[in-house]
Amino acid sequence: MPTVTVAVNGRGLGIVMIRLFVFALIAGLLPSAASAQPCPGNDNALGTERVLKVDAATTPRVGRKHFPDTLPLRDKELVLTFDDGPWPTTTPKVLNALKAECVRATFFLLGRNVDAHPQLARRALAEGHTLGHHTYSHPLLDHLPLDKAEAEINRGIARDELAAYGQSRSEPTTPFFRFPGFASSQPLLDRMQARGIVVFGADVWASDWLPMTPEAELQLLLGRIAQVGRGIVLLHDTKAQTAAMLPALLRALKTRGYRIVHVVAAG
């Protein structure tokens, strides 16, 4: 433990024990330790850098592929999102990959798939992921009358809520929604904003609705992420190629210095 002799008014008045390591801890080490999130079994995990609270009052619509603005992310910060699940052959693999890297994502659930596989929705929630909504049966909502479009949205929310939280309701616990095929309309967007529901677009996607190998998807997505630098990434946990590709993607993001942000509802 370091010590120094301190002179006061030119006179040595004794030895003052200065516990420099304590000051160092107060100044810097303790905050770092408090913010560190170790990943069991993986000391070099990608991890989740921070949590971002999102509110429809300030960010009603996000994702620059569809809207003027996106989430307030820093350079090389990404939000991972997955659509259309849960699916029994692929969603568990996606959840396993995320868990191995201590990464938290957002799942935009399809009500009919939640009806068939409610345990997977509950697993995603239990492992710390955010559950958003994606209608019940994936119609293009801009092709439907307004009342039928809203009924489809509400049916999906109600089924998701019942599976995840044990109560069927049309007002979601986490008010996040993504339009199937991004097929929105201004009246529907206005209704969602009035309900306090954030509409998610995307800043970059993997195009995993197209047939390709996991290796091809990885290279395509990494190239697109490099172009945008930050933003909301869209994938599908129903796609076998994406489930197979995801572990390599998470490792590559770590190597390239990207950081994961977990979005949650404000309030």
Confidence of residue 181 (pLDDT cuts 50, 70, 90): very high
One domain for residues 64 and 183: yes
Number of H helices, E strands in the chain: 9, 12
DSSP-derived secondary structure letter, 141:
G
One domain for residues 96 and 131: yes
What are φ and ψ of residue 123, in 5° steps?
A: -65, -45
Domains of the chain: total: 2
The answer to which of 35-39, 80-84, 168-172, 222-226 has the lowest mean pLDDT is: 35-39
Residue 252 has pLDDT above 60, yes or no: yes
Residues annotated as catalytic are 83, 236
Residue 180 has pLDDT above 70, yes or no: yes
What residue numbers bound the domain in which 31 lies? 1-36
One domain for residues 98 and 149: yes
pLDDT at position 267? 79
| Residue 143: strand, helix, or coil | helix
Give the CATH number for residue 76: 3.20.20.370
7-57 residue pLDDT tens:
334 443 333 333 333 333 333 333 332 334 789 999 999 999 999 999 999
Residue 41 placed within a domain = no
The answer to which of 37-51, 78-92, 102-116 has the lowest mean pLDDT is: 37-51
Residue 209 vs residue 12, higher pLDDT: 209
Of residues 117, 132, 209, 134, the one with CA closest to residue 174: 132
One domain for residues 69 and 151: yes
One domain for residues 137 and 259: yes
* pTM of the entire predicted model: 0.86
Confidence of residue 261 (pLDDT cuts 50, 70, 90): very high
How is residue 204 written in tokens?
């970059």
Residues 6+ apart with CB under 8 A from 124: 86, 91, 95, 107, 131
One domain for residues 148 and 237: yes
